[in-house]
Structure 1
Amino acid sequence: MGKQQDVGEPDRHSGSDTTAHRPIGGSADERLTLAQDPTTPQMTLIDLASDPSPVVRKTVAARADAPAQALRPLTRDHDRQVREAVARNPSTSLANLMRLVKDADRWVRWAVAGNPACDESIRRVMSEASDKELRGLLAESRELEPELAAKLTDDVSPEVRERLATHTHDSDVITTLLADRTARVRKGVARNPRTTAEQRSALAADPVVDVRAALVRAVEVDEADLVRLVDDRSVQVRLAMATSEVVPSHIRQMLTRDSDEMVASAARDFRPGSGTSSAVRAPRIAHRPSAAGAGRRDS
């Protein structure tokens, strides 16, 4: 992780004192080249932070070696892509991240969520935000403190609770969400690879089809539960078993005789690595689509 330097510290990249910076002039392309140059002195980067070109300012904002004096004003830049670059910069100070996590633009706020420099104080603000997606990104965080995870188990949004259920490493949180009244939250628990055999057995008997189907797609289940699920009343569950990467072959063989031809055919035709497994994906990192998000104003 880079470290922000204040003016007056030696510029390790240029080998000279920060006060001996290059004069800035020329075209926008030349100034961009200067902003990209790893040997550019710190004082020059500070000057470039107020460049008329947003591309130049964004380049400075993304530099891990940018001094605090350069990044600080960029947290208030009128161009949201510049602020977003600061929000992603792992060298951005906690004070600046605190400002950006409250930014009016959602993409800037979401960028903060993926910054490894975030600490508990930033995550606490995220947990109290009205922005559902920001709380959802927090719910997927591996660094989430137990206190904040417990708080999110009562989140008003089922989506936030589902994302917490899928990604949490906290056994107490898993136990709490296993009893959630909303099916999509229990579906999230079903996809969590850190559930116990006992919890998976309970999920295999869940009254909601989507929960049982998610379970057999995502994690290994005890054979006794799988044998019962071979005769599940739902075609969706049996089809999920027939196409799951984690269901043993001898269980799948039982499904080749299923009364539903679609299930039987899927079991017969299954090939490992066919891409039908529903493994838990890595937590989302909020990246704005390059085209769709470029011209929108939002909050």
Structure 2
Amino acid sequence: MNHVLCGLAANVSLPSELVDRLIAVADAEIAAALAHRADLGHAQARVLASRVEESAVSLAYAGLLTAADVDPATQPDVALALLAERAGRPEWARLLAEDPVVERRQKLAACSGLPPDVVETLATDSDVQVVAELALWTTPETATRFAAHPHAEVRRAVAANEATPPAVLAALLTGDGLPPAQRCLVCDREETPFAHDPPCSRLDCDLPSGASCDGSHESTRHDMQQMAIRNPATPADSVAAFVGNPSLLLRWALAGRPDLPSEVCARLAVDSNPGVRGDLAGNPATDEALIRVLATDRDHEVRRRLAHNPLIPLDLLTHLAGATKIGATLLPRIASASPDEVEELSESPNPAVRMLVAQRRDLPPATRDALAVDSDAKVVKSIAPHPGLSEGRLRTMLDRHGVRVVAGVAANPDATPALLEDVARHDPPVRKAFREIARHRNASAPALLACLADARTRRVAASHAELPPSIIEELLTDADWQVREAAAANPSLPLAVMADLIARL
């Protein structure tokens, strides 16, 4: 792979005439980069597709090829891409429904808006995976019919389809009113009873771990129930019956539903598995009384998930902040706090609480500036990237807290070129700060040159437009291919160098 030319193909400053010259010599990798150019024209796309067949699918998905540009007989994958974008022709679907390649028929089955006769053809396909793919994306009417399909894999797909009518999903959970399934992927291939050995040594085996069938297709039925429980179209009262199910996976799927009755939430809150309790803790369906119970859970992850619940009472969140490692993140309840609540949080005696509100990026100037001079480094680190902070305040942060806030200061969108240069020279150096500088819009050449000395940041800095052209040209021969590619994609790469790189081919 020519990484320099791949980078050049993505360079936004590459003029149209050089794009044309690059198309004329492109291989599959270069063509892939060219196909994602925002300025690629229709005529260029047609030439590229004709030269490098592999690029045509990406071009079709990008809307750069039309139905008039494609022959479905010789370019079936491109035709499928246009059909997936609803830009193909109905007769293509009829042709592809008979394609000998199963994977193509599967892709066709996932397309929406197929002609009714094509749907009927796919519904009776000889490969059950094609039918299952159709069941996953089809209309409510066809999904209802497939719910009684003799193959359990098709029913599993119906259970995952959000267009399936609620009554049908409820029936799939229990089997009531539906004839028993006759086959599944397991008994299609193995004599029953059969249980798939997780460390299976057979190279030709693609059965999932835990797949089993004793004649009742139990593993597929279990998967179908899990899909139905996760499906938001399944009625809440139907899934509630699984609250005491012995299957951990089914209870876990249930805990994430946002429409659970309070009595179901109460039972899940005492589930033996912390993963179930954790998903419930983050679920907006959990009422305040239960949230307060979960706040005392012995598992740290449950309490951490509870802190991310958008409906957690603010007093409880501030309590959790002091006892649970939440991390430097903007919590939903903090993001929705009212102006009065923001002021109260910013004046909390607990620095962990002040750190949480400092994660907001829309604080009133007075609140922002007060947090910028906080005595706790964690609070200052959180507020440092907040827009609107003056250079003087940012420098004061550095003077008072040093390495603990360097990366945050470098991430501030208003950091000046001079400040970023000083941060780049900080002793001891801070690698996270280099990464922030390397992608900062205000980074100057001296600051970027310092970033180039760091092996990991070098790849990011090589693409920054403020690098001197001579340095960018030197990086085209760097030992690291990612640096070479980034340099070639740098919009400040001189036009003469771009032309010369293509001319050498």
TM-score (norm 2): 0.39
Q: Give a deviation string over 1:98-144, Cα, whole Å, max 9, x none.
A: 3323323221122122233x15xx22211123424259667673123
Indicate whether 1:179 and 2:373 are aligned: yes
Task: Name the aligned partner's letter for residue 367 of structure 2.
Answer: V
> Between Structure 1 and Structure 2, which shows a larger proportion of helix residues?
2
Following superposition of structure 1 onto structure 2, how do residues 280-299 of structure 1 map, counting pairs within 5 Å? Answer: none
**Maintained 8 Å contact 1:32/1:55:** no
Aligned AA for 2:314? R
Q: How does 1:127-276 map to 2 (within 5 A)?
A: 127-129=318-320, 130-134=322-326, 141-153=334-346, 158=351, 161-171=354-364, 172-192=366-386, 194-196=387-389, 198=390, 200-205=391-396, 206-207=398-399, 208-210=401-403, 211=405, 214-222=408-416, 229=422, 234=427, 236=429, 240=434, 243-246=437-440, 248=442, 251-253=444-446, 270-272=461-463
In structure 2, distance between residues paired with 1:187 and 1:255: 23
Contact in 1 for aligned 2:439/2:461 (Cα 8 Å)? no
Pairing partner for 1:95 from 285, 289, 303: 289
Alignment-derived partner of residue 34 in structure 1: 225
Q: Give the SS at the match of 1:202.
A: helix
- For residues 133-179 of structure 1, give each alpha carbon's deviation from its aligned partner in whole angstroms, at most 9, with x where no partner exists: 25966767312344444444455665554454343532233222111
Distance in 2 between residues matched to 1:31 and 1:55, nearest whole Å: 9
Residue of structure 2 in register with 1:13 after alignment? 166
User: Would the alpha carbon gap of residues 151 and 105 (structure 1) be closer, same or farther in structure 2, given more than 3 Å must change?
Assistant: farther
- RCO greater where, 1 or 2, for CA within 8 Å and sep 6 or more? 1
Could you list the runs of 5+ residues in structure 1 that have no partner in the other structure?
1-11, 276-299
1:53 aligned residue (238, 243, 247): 247
Deviations 1:217-240 (A, max 9, x none): 44232456568x489774738x84
Tell me the SS of whatever aligns to 1:246: coil
Distance in 1 (CA, whole Å) between partners of 2:244 and 2:446 is 67
Please give the root-mean-square deviation of Cα atoms over the aligned residues, in Å. Answer: 4.5
- Tell me the matched-pair count: 246
Aligned partner letter, 2:393: A
Confirm or deny: 8 A CA contact 1:178 1:189 kept in the other structure.
yes
2:424–2:437 CA contact under 8 A, matched in 1: no
> Which residues of structure 2 form unaligned runs of 5+?
1-164, 177-215, 465-481, 484-505
Q: Which residue of 2 aligns with 1:280?
A: none
Tell me, yes or no, if structure 1 residue 69 matches structure 2 residue 263.
yes
CA distance in 1, matches of 2:252, 2:370: 43
Q: Contact conserved, 1:101 with 1:126, CA < 8 A, in 2?
A: no
Instruction: After TM superposition, give the deviation of residue 184 of structure 1 in Å.
Output: 4.0
In 2, distance between residues paired with 1:147 and 1:253? 44
Q: Structure 1 CA distance, aligned partners of 2:307 and 2:253?
A: 20
Residue 209 of structure 1: SS of its match in structure 2?
helix
State the secondary structure of the residue aligned to 1:66. coil
Contact 1:110 1:134 in 2 (8 A): yes
Q: Distance in 1 between matches of 2:361 and 2:167?
A: 44
| Structure 1 residues 255 and 133, CA gap change in structure 2 (3 angstroms) | closer
Identity of aligned residues (%): 19
C-alpha separation in 2, matches of 1:242 and 1:70:
46
**Residue by residue, what CA displacement relative to the aligned partner does 1:163-220 show, whole Å, maximum 9, x if unpaired?**
543435322332221111233432332222x333x3x332124414334554234423
Distance in 2 (alpha carbons) for counterparts of 1:80 and 1:31: 21
Aligned to 1:295: none
Structure of larger gyration radius: 2
Partner of 1:106: 300
Q: Show CA shifts across 1:56-107 (max 9, x none).
A: 2222222334333322321222222221222233333343333323323221
Q: Which amino acid aligns with 1:108?
A: V
Asked whether the equivalents of residues 64 and 90 of structure 1 are also in contact (C-alpha less than 8 Å), the reply is yes
CA distance, structure 2, for counterparts of residue 105 and residue 203 of structure 1: 38
C-alpha separation between the residues in 1 aligned to 2:424 and 2:239?
67
Partner of 2:148: none
